[in-house]
Amino acid sequence: MEFPMIVSQALNGIAFGMLLFLLAAGLSLMFGLMGIVNLAHGAYFMVGGYVGLTVLEITDSFPLAIVAGAAAGAFLGFLTERFFMRRLYGLHGHETILLTFALSLVLSDLSLFLWSGTPRWVQPPAFLDFSFSLLGNPYPAYRLAIILIGVLIFVSLYWFQERTLWGAIVRAGVDDKEMATGLGINIPLVFTMVFCLGAFLAGFGGFVGSPILGLHIGLDVEIIMLALAVVIVGGIGSLTGCLATCLLLGISDTLGKVLWPNYASLTIYLVVVIVLLVKPAGLFGKEVK
Amino acid sequence: MSRVRSSWKSILSAAVGAAFLLLVPVLPQYAVTLATSIIIYSIYVSSANLLTGYTGLVSLGQAMFWGSAAYSVAILTSKAQITNFYLVALIGLLVVVLISAFFGILALRVKRLYFMIVTFAFGHVVWCIAMYPMQKLTRGYDGIKDIARPELGLSVSLATGVSFYYFVLIVAVICFSVFFLIIRSPFGHAIVGIRDNEHRMAALGYNTLLYKYISYILSAVFSGVAGILFAYFNGYVNPSELHWLFSGDALMMMFIGGIGTFWGPLWGALAYTGLRYWISSYTMYWFGIEGIIFILVVLFFRGGIAGFVMSVQKRLKWQRH
């Protein structure tokens, strides 16, 4: 493979990694704070994408569609936390897995009902729908925009977590829920907010990613598998670790698909197996358990 | 009082057993098919229950064992043209043992929710391998058709639905007896101890990792037995047998029946298969309705059917006192 080709494939990988980050950031935050694995998280991504598509078709406004997709994700997250998860905290853990699994089944069939099974593609907004020359090869501007958006989201999440009072409250909740409650922090409210934030990012990613990934039934499962792989490889701990893992997996997935097209996304799981063998707590995991 | 309860229970079990045994020849064809699949599923769910209900390891990768055994049967009988049932079954189980021995070492390096995610990922790996690199062998999304019913080398033919049903029933009785022996053995007590308090078991000198590993492989083998039966029963193996959704179904059937109880998997398989048969005849959105049922079970019937029966028994006991 020639050098310019490698560069554009690596950029594709980074763009994909950024989309993964939008999903995995919320997923690992929920994992860290509430100790749950939310299997419905991929469904927020998919439904966010579909809702955005519908709004785009009605209003013909890309920004409005993004807002609608993200809001749909946040709304679903709110419903999930408030009406289902809240009843299950403090149980064994398999209850939440079963419930979110069931929820993803419902959301997937609901999407099939509302948007039918035909795969859909979304056109990037007009002002980004062009290619520019990158080392002699044409490269779509929209993918660069996604990378930029990913960086922006990362920076604002980092700022939120490290520099704001709300971020401090969330960190306190991750470290010691009981002590945080004792200090007068409303932990159930924090749970709801974190859930909404994570689902918001997922819905956002679902629509922003739709010009690249497309929209089809089953997208929820494909994307949640990769986001869970991020959680295994990166471990839970830092936001930076999460981003680094997403980029690593995004690039290895894209390059793997180019180099060994027959093996689909198996390169990612090769990374998963190696990490499990060498460092079971994950590359950036804090605790060794 | 315990004698009253146990006799009540054994009468019920005997009645259900007799129903399974005697009613089948007079039932219509679809009911025999349904009963056969319920029994095969109950073996599958029991095997998952050994790992999740008794050892406390929540796995979302059980379909990988069921599916790889089913695919082994399909490939060996239709591609390699091996007609000897015992050889096919043996190779199928060997494949399952190898896969579980390999993934078990990796998955058991992590605990609790991580274990679940890792088994989930491995299930997906096996699915991907079957669909892409091994596409020539597995025929990808099309699946493998026309698997003939097994020849046991005895004078009975398994070609009819009823005779195959009795074959499945005999295998199931053997499997459930083995489950019973495992759970009552020192090994069974040890894995329940690990489920309830792993640190204490380790402090008592148990090699908890080894116990979990053996439990993982045993659970895989019985899922494999169920998968082999299913391939012969269905005559057709498709990718959904390997898919993680089917691993989720195992957990759900277990949960509906009653997690960590001996008969729970049978109740769960019965309720699940019956509901699916009934609801699928009205709508194509079975998965969505399945999801709604699961949500209701998780929220309101956490003990499942077995838990419900137990609470009724408790109430009866109160009234007698």
Question: Among B52, B60, B290, whose Cβ lies nearest the Cβ of A105?
Answer: B290
Q: Which chain B residues touch A93 with a CB distance below 8 Å?
A: 58, 112-113
Beta-carbon contacts of residue B34 (< 8 Å; ≥ 6 apart): B273, B274, B277
pLDDT of residue A43: 94
pLDDT of residue B41: 95
B298 vs A228: CB contact, 8 Å cut-off? no
A45 pLDDT band, cuts 50/70/90, is very high
What is the percent of chain A with per-residue pLDDT over 70, rounded to a whole number? 97
Question: Among B52, B120, B292, whose Cβ lies nearest the Cβ of A106?
Answer: B292
pLDDT of residue A40: 92
A251 within 8 A of A17, measured Cβ to Cβ: yes
pLDDT of residue A264: 64
Q: Which chain A residues touch B255 with a CB distance below 8 Å?
A: 94, 98
Interface probe with A: pick from B54, B106, B114, most Cβ of A within 10 Å: B114
User: B97-118, pLDDT tens digit by residue?
Assistant: 999 999 999 889 888 778 888 8
B6 pLDDT band, cuts 50/70/90, is low
User: What is the mean predicted confidence (pLDDT) over A247-264?
Assistant: 83
**Strands A137-140, A131-134: pairing kind:** antiparallel
pLDDT of residue B45: 95
Q: Is the pLDDT of residue B312 over 90?
A: no
B112 vs A264: CB contact, 8 Å cut-off? no
- Range in A95-104, B224-233, B300-309 the model is least confident about: B300-309
A264 vs B251: CB contact, 8 Å cut-off? no
User: What is the mean predicted confidence (pLDDT) over B219-244?
Assistant: 91
Give me the half-sphere count of Cα atoms (radius 13 Å) on the Cβ side of residue B146: 3
Residue B81's region, left for phi above 0, alpha for psi from -120 to 50, else beta, is left
Cα–Cα distance, A195 to A198 (Å, whole number): 5
Distance from CA of A233 to the nearest CA of B (A): 10
Cβ-based interface (< 8 Å): residues of B facing A: 52, 58, 60, 106-107, 109-114, 116-118, 120-122, 124-125, 128-129, 131-133, 135, 244-245, 248, 251-252, 255, 259, 285, 287-295, 298-299, 302
Q: Is the pLDDT of residue A237 over 90?
A: no
B118 vs A232: CB contact, 8 Å cut-off? yes
- Range in A3-7, A11-15, A56-60, B24-28 the model is least confident about: B24-28
User: B248-302, pLDDT tens digit by residue?
Assistant: 889 889 988 888 888 889 989 999 998 888 888 888 888 888 899 889 888 888 7
Cα–Cα distance, A108 to A76 (Å, whole number): 13
Question: Among A98, A266, A269, whose Cβ lies nearest the Cβ of B294?
Answer: A98
A94 to chain B: nearest residue by CA?
B58
A288 pLDDT band, cuts 50/70/90, is very low
Q: Which chain B residues touch A37 with a CB distance below 8 Å?
A: 113, 116-117
Q: Which chain B residues touch A231 with a CB distance below 8 Å?
A: 117
Distance from CA of A218 to the nearest CA of B (A): 11
Three-class secondary structure assignment of chain B: CHHHHHHHHHHHHHHHHHHHHHCHHHCCHHHHHHHHHHHHHHHHHHHHHHHHHHCCCCCCCCHHHHHHHHHHHHHHHHHCCCCEHHHHHHHHHHHHHHHHHHHHHHHCCCCHHHHHHHHHHHHHHHHHHHHCCCHHHHCHHHCECCCCCCECCCCCCCCCHHHHHHHHHHHHHHHHHHHHHHHHCHHHHHHHHHHHCHHHHHHCCCCHHHHHHHHHHHHHHHHHHHHHHHHHHHCCECHHHCCHHHHHHHHHHHHHHCCCCCCHHHHHHHHHHHHHHHHHCCCCCHHHHHHHHHHHHHHHCCCHHHHHHHHHHHHHHHHHC
Distance from CA of B105 to the nearest CA of A (A): 9
B288 vs A106: CB contact, 8 Å cut-off? yes
Q: Residue B209: how many CB atoms within 10 A of its CB?
A: 14
pLDDT of residue A214: 87
A103 vs B295: CB contact, 8 Å cut-off? yes
Map out the domains of chain A as residue ranges. Answer: 14-222
User: What is the mean predicted confidence (pLDDT) over A129-136?
Assistant: 80
Question: Among A97, A99, A289, whose Cβ lies nearest the Cβ of B116?
Answer: A97
pLDDT of residue A112: 92
B9 pLDDT band, cuts 50/70/90, is low
DSSP letter, residue A215:
B
Distance from CA of B310 to the nearest CA of A (A): 20
Who has greater pLDDT, A56 or B117?
A56
Who has greater pLDDT, A263 or A116?
A116
B252 to chain A: nearest residue by CA?
A98
Complex ipTM more than 0.90, yes or no: no
Strands annotated E in chain A:
131-134, 137-140
pLDDT of residue A281: 79
Question: Among A98, A109, A277, whose Cβ lies nearest the Cβ of B298?
Answer: A98
A273 vs B302: CB contact, 8 Å cut-off? no
User: What is the mean predicted confidence (pLDDT) over B291-320?
Assistant: 81
Distance from CA of B109 to the nearest CA of A (A): 6
User: A183-203, pLDDT tens digit by residue?
Assistant: 888 888 988 998 999 999 999
Q: Look at the alpha carbons of A67, A69, A70, A75 in this order and tell me if their dihedral is positive or negative.
A: positive
Distance from CA of B294 to the nearest CA of A (A): 6
Q: Is the pLDDT of residue A287 over 80?
A: no
pLDDT of residue A289: 40
Which residue type does B193 have?
A: G
Distance from CA of B292 to the nearest CA of A (A): 7
Buried b (16+ CB within 10 A) or exposed e, A197-209: bbbbbbbbbbbbb
A209 within 8 A of A149, measured Cβ to Cβ: no
Q: Which chain B residues touch A277 with a CB distance below 8 Å?
A: 106, 109
Q: Is the pLDDT of residue B90 over 90?
A: yes
Token duo for residue A247: 């980029």
Which residue type does B125 have?
A: V
The burial class, CB within 10 Å (0-12 / 13-18 / 19+), for B282 is: exposed
Q: Is the pLDDT of residue B43 over 70?
A: yes
Cα–Cα distance, A249 to A227 (Å, whole number): 10
User: Bridge partners of B237?
Assistant: B144
Beta-carbon contacts of residue B138 (< 8 Å; ≥ 6 apart): B71, B75, B130, B131, B144, B239
pLDDT of residue B2: 46
Residue with tokens 């640190």: B199
pTM: 0.85
Reduced to 3 states, what is the DSSP secondary structure of residue A137? strand
pLDDT of residue B314: 78
B129 to chain A: nearest residue by CA?
A263
Q: Which chain B residues touch A276 with a CB distance below 8 Å?
A: 106-107, 109-110, 118
Q: Look at the alpha carbons of A132, A134, A135, A136 in this order and tell me if their dihedral is positive or negative.
A: negative
Rounded to 5°, angle at Cα B171 from B169 and B173: 70
Cα–Cα distance, B133 to A163 (Å, whole number): 48
Cα–Cα distance, A170 to B202 (Å, whole number): 35
Cα–Cα distance, A248 to A227 (Å, whole number): 12
Which residue type does A11 have?
A: L
Q: Is the pLDDT of residue A244 over 70?
A: yes
pLDDT of residue B320: 61
CA distances from A155 to A148, A151, A163, A241 (A): 11, 6, 11, 13
B128 vs A99: CB contact, 8 Å cut-off? no
pLDDT of residue B287: 86
- Range in A31-40, A50-59, B8-17, B225-234 the model is least confident about: B8-17
Three-class secondary structure assignment of A175-200: HCHHHHHHCCCCHHHHHHHHHHHHHH
Q: Is the pLDDT of residue A49 over 90?
A: yes
User: What is the mean predicted confidence (pLDDT) over A116-135?
Assistant: 84
Q: Which chain B residues touch A266 with a CB distance below 8 Å?
A: 125, 128-129, 132-133
Cα A161 to the center of its chain, rounded Å? 17
User: What is the mean predicted confidence (pLDDT) over B76-94?
Assistant: 86
Give me the half-sphere count of Cα atoms (radius 13 Å) on the Cβ side of residue A289: 11
Cα–Cα distance, B177 to B156 (Å, whole number): 24
Q: Which chain B residues touch A265 with a CB distance below 8 Å?
A: 128
Q: Give the A:B interface size as CB pairs under 8 Å.
A: 124
B131 vs A35: CB contact, 8 Å cut-off? no
Q: Is the pLDDT of residue B247 over 80?
A: yes
- Return phi, psi of residue B181, to 5°: -65, -40
pLDDT of residue A97: 85
